[in-house]
Structure 1
Amino acid sequence: MAAYLNRTVSMMAGDGPHNKGSISAIASDFRAIRNTPQDNSPLQIFVKAKRKINDIFGEIEDYVKDAIDYMHVVEKELSILNAEEVKQMETFVNKVHGIRDVLARDHMKVAFFGRTSNGKSSVINAMLRDKVLPSGIGHTTNCFLQVEGSPADEPYLVLEGSDEHCAVESVGQLAHALCKEKLNESQLVRVFWPRNRCVLLRDDVVFVDSPGVDVSPNLDEWIDKHCLDADVFVLVANAESTLMVTEKNFFHKVSTKLSKPNIFILNNRWDASATEPEFLDQVRRQHLERGIDFLVKELKVCTPKEADERIFFISAKEALIARLAEKGFGSSNSLAEGFQNRYFEFEDFERKFEECISKSAVKTKFEQHSQRGKYISNELRNILDKLYHDAQLLKEEKLKQRKDLNDKINFTEQQLMLITQDMKQKIHDMVDDVGQRVAKALNEEIRRLSNLVDEFNLPFHPEPLVLNVYKKELHAHVESGLGSNLRARLSTALALNVEASQQEMLERLEKLIPDEKKGTSIILPRRQPFEILYRLNCDNLCADFKEDLEFRFSWGITTLIQRFAGSGAGYLALKNKRDSPTSSIIPNPSSPTDLYPNHQNNIVNDDWSLIAKLALASATSQGTMGGLLVAGFLFKTVGWRVIAVTGAIYGCLYLYERLTWTNRAKEKAFKRQYVAHATKKLKLIVDLTSSNCSYQVQQELSGTFARLCHLVDEATTDMDAELKALEVQVRNLENAAGRSKVLRNKANYLTHELELFEDAYLKPLN
Structure 2
Amino acid sequence: MKVVFFGRTSNGKSSVINAMLCDKVLPSGIGHTTNCFLRVEGTDGNESFLLTEGSEERKSIKTVNQLAHALHQDELLDAGSLVCVMWPKAKCALLRDDLVLVDSPGIDVTTELDSWIDKFCLDADVFVLVANSESTLMQTEKFFFHKVNERLSSPNIFILNNRWDASASEPEYMEEVRRQHMDRCSSFLVDELGVVDRAQASDRIFFVSAKEVLQARIQKAQGMPEAGGALAEGFQARMFEFQNFERRFEECISQSAVKTKFEQHTVRAKQISEALRLIMDSVHVATQEQRIHCMETREDRQDRMEFIDKQLDLLSMDCKAKIKKITEEVERQVSNAMAEEIRRLYVLVYKNELHRHIEEGLGRNMSERCSAGITNALQNTQTEMNEGLKPLLPAPVREQVDKLVPRQCFSLSYDLACDKLCSDFQEDIGFHFSMGWTMLVNRFLGPKNTRRALMGYNDQVPRPLALTPVSTSMPPFPQGSMTQEELMVSMVTGLASLTSRTSMGIIVVGGVIWKAVGWRLIALSVGMYGLMYVYERLTWTTKAKERAFKRQFVEYASEKLQLIVSYTGSNCSHQVQQELAGSFAGLCQQVDVTRQNLEEEISDMNNKIELLDTLQSKAKLLRNKAGWLDSELNMFTQQYLHQGR
Same fold per TM (> 0.5)?
yes
CA-to-partner distance for each residue in 1:546-583, whole Å, 9 max, x for gaps? Answer: 12233445565654664576544556688x69xxx99x
Q: CA deviation at 1:541?
A: 1.1
The within-5 A match list for 1:216-365 is: 216=110, 219-255=113-149, 257-299=151-193, 301-331=195-225, 332-333=227-228, 334-365=230-261
Equivalence for 2:275? 379
Q: CA deviation at 1:524?
A: 10
The within-5 A match list for 1:575-614 is: 603=486, 607=490, 610=493, 614=497
Distance in 2 of aligned mates of 1:327 and 1:218: 40
User: Is residue 27–residue 67 contact of structure 2 (8 Å, CA) maintained in 1?
Assistant: no
Q: CA deviation at 1:669?
A: 1.7
Q: What letter corresponds to residue 168 of structure 1 in structure 2?
A: I
Q: CA deviation at 1:585?
A: 9.7
Distance in 2 of aligned mates of 1:292 and 1:438: 126
Distance in 1 of aligned mates of 2:486 and 2:405: 54
Equivalence for 2:44? 151
Distance in 2 of aligned mates of 1:239 and 1:170: 30
The within-5 A match list for 1:172-251 is: 172-175=65-68, 184-186=77-79, 187-216=81-110, 219-251=113-145
Equivalence for 1:685? 564
CA-to-partner distance for each residue in 1:82-137, whole Å, 9 max, x for gaps? Answer: xxxxxxxxxxxxxxxxxxxxxxxxx3222243222x22222111111122222223
Equivalence for 2:608? 729
State whether structure 2 residue 438 is matched by structure 1 residue 544: no
Distance in 2 of aligned mates of 1:196 and 1:662: 151
Equivalence for 2:61? 168
Equivalence for 1:696? 575
- Could you say what secondary structure the match of 2:637 adopts? helix
- Could you say what secondary structure the match of 1:549 adopts? coil
- Could you say what secondary structure the match of 1:680 adopts? helix
CA-to-partner distance for each residue in 1:699-742, whole Å, 9 max, x for gaps? Answer: 34444444444454444444444433333333333222212111
Distance in 1 of aligned mates of 2:492 and 2:412: 45
- Could you say what secondary structure the match of 1:386 adopts? helix
Equivalence for 2:468? none
User: Is residue 123–residue 317 contact of structure 1 (8 Å, CA) maintained in 2?
Assistant: yes
Q: What letter corresponds to residue 267 of structure 2 in structure 1?
A: Q
Equivalence for 1:128? 21
Worse overlay, 202-211 or 659-668: 659-668
User: Is residue 134–residue 172 contact of structure 1 (8 Å, CA) maintained in 2?
Assistant: yes
Q: CA deviation at 1:675?
A: 0.7
- Could you say what secondary structure the match of 1:175 adopts? helix
CA-to-partner distance for each residue in 1:417-439, whole Å, 9 max, x for gaps? Answer: 45545554555455444444433
- Could you say what secondary structure the match of 1:169 adopts? coil
Q: CA deviation at 1:277?
A: 0.9
Distance in 1 of aligned mates of 2:406 and 2:240: 114
State whether structure 2 residue 545 is matched by structure 1 residue 666: yes
User: Is residue 5–residue 130 contact of structure 2 (8 Å, CA) maintained in 1?
Assistant: no
State whether structure 2 residue 366 is matched by structure 1 residue 441: no
- Could you say what secondary structure the match of 1:135 adopts? coil
User: Is residue 523–residue 707 contact of structure 1 (8 Å, CA) maintained in 2?
Assistant: no
Distance in 1 of aligned mates of 2:356 and 2:273: 95
Q: What letter corresponds to residue 286 of structure 1 in structure 2?
A: Q
Distance in 1 of aligned mates of 2:118 and 2:289: 53
User: Is residue 385–residue 741 contact of structure 1 (8 Å, CA) maintained in 2?
Assistant: yes
User: Is residue 542–residue 678 contact of structure 1 (8 Å, CA) maintained in 2?
Assistant: yes
Residue 736 to residue 246, structure 1, CA distance change in 2 (3 Å): closer
Worse overlay, 665-674 or 176-185: 176-185
Distance in 2 of aligned mates of 1:608 and 1:535: 45
- Could you say what secondary structure the match of 2:105 adopts? coil
User: Is residue 266–residue 311 contact of structure 1 (8 Å, CA) maintained in 2?
Assistant: yes
Equivalence for 2:263? 367
User: Is residue 190–residue 198 contact of structure 2 (8 Å, CA) maintained in 1?
Assistant: yes
User: Is residue 235–residue 264 contact of structure 1 (8 Å, CA) maintained in 2?
Assistant: yes
Residue 295 to residue 562, structure 1, CA distance change in 2 (3 Å): closer
- Could you say what secondary structure the match of 1:483 adopts? helix
Q: CA deviation at 1:407?
A: 4.8
Distance in 2 of aligned mates of 1:562 and 1:504: 57
Q: CA deviation at 1:681?
A: 0.7
CA-to-partner distance for each residue in 1:429-468, whole Å, 9 max, x for gaps? Answer: 5544444443333333322222332xx3x3xxxxxxxxxx
Q: What letter corresponds to residue 478 of structure 1 in structure 2?
A: I
CA-to-partner distance for each residue in 1:256-298, whole Å, 9 max, x for gaps? Answer: 5545543322211111211211111221122223333444455
Equivalence for 2:399? 519
Residue 194 to residue 562, structure 1, CA distance change in 2 (3 Å): closer
User: Is residue 453–residue 489 contact of structure 2 (8 Å, CA) maintained in 1?
Assistant: no
User: Is residue 335–residue 568 contact of structure 2 (8 Å, CA) maintained in 1?
Assistant: yes
Residue 605 to residue 420, structure 1, CA distance change in 2 (3 Å): farther
Equivalence for 1:486? 366
Equivalence for 1:739? 618
Q: What letter corresponds to residue 641 of structure 2 in structure 1?
A: L
Q: What letter corresponds to residue 347 of structure 1 in structure 2?
A: Q
Residue 761 to residue 604, structure 1, CA distance change in 2 (3 Å): farther
Q: What letter corresponds to residue 277 of structure 1 in structure 2?
A: P
Distance in 1 of aligned mates of 2:341 and 2:494: 36
Distance in 2 of aligned mates of 1:745 and 1:396: 22
Q: CA deviation at 1:626?
A: 8.4
Residue 744 to residue 300, structure 1, CA distance change in 2 (3 Å): closer
Q: What letter corresponds to residue 131 of structure 1 in structure 2?
A: K
Residue 427 to residue 135, structure 1, CA distance change in 2 (3 Å): closer
User: Is residue 145–residue 190 contact of structure 1 (8 Å, CA) maintained in 2?
Assistant: yes
User: Is residue 141–residue 177 contact of structure 1 (8 Å, CA) maintained in 2?
Assistant: no
Residue 600 to residue 364, structure 1, CA distance change in 2 (3 Å): farther
Equivalence for 1:98? none
Residue 498 to residue 605, structure 1, CA distance change in 2 (3 Å): farther
Q: What letter corresponds to residue 211 of structure 1 in structure 2?
A: P
Equivalence for 2:466? none
Distance in 2 of aligned mates of 1:343 and 1:112: 22
- Could you say what secondary structure the match of 2:399 adopts? coil
Distance in 2 of aligned mates of 1:168 and 1:178: 11
Residue 231 to residue 411, structure 1, CA distance change in 2 (3 Å): closer
Distance in 1 of aligned mates of 2:110 and 2:445: 159
TM-score, L = length of structure 1: 0.69
Equivalence for 1:452? 348
User: Is residue 495–residue 529 contact of structure 1 (8 Å, CA) maintained in 2?
Assistant: no
Distance in 1 of aligned mates of 2:153 and 2:290: 51
TM-score, L = length of structure 2: 0.81
Equivalence for 1:96? none
Q: CA RMSD in A?
A: 4.3
Distance in 2 of aligned mates of 1:686 and 1:181: 121
Equivalence for 1:393? 289
Residue 607 to residue 440, structure 1, CA distance change in 2 (3 Å): farther
Q: How many positions carry a matched residue from both structures?
A: 619
Percent identical residues = 49
CA-to-partner distance for each residue in 1:54-105, whole Å, 9 max, x for gaps? Answer: xxxxxxxxxxxxxxxxxxxxxxxxxxxxxxxxxxxxxxxxxxxxxxxxxxxx
Equivalence for 2:2? 108
User: Is residue 499–residue 525 contact of structure 1 (8 Å, CA) maintained in 2?
Assistant: no
User: Is residue 142–residue 183 contact of structure 1 (8 Å, CA) maintained in 2?
Assistant: no
Worse overlay, 657-666 or 206-215: 657-666
Distance in 2 of aligned mates of 1:503 and 1:325: 115
Equivalence for 1:617? 500
In structure 2, stretches of 5+ residues that fail to align are: 462-481
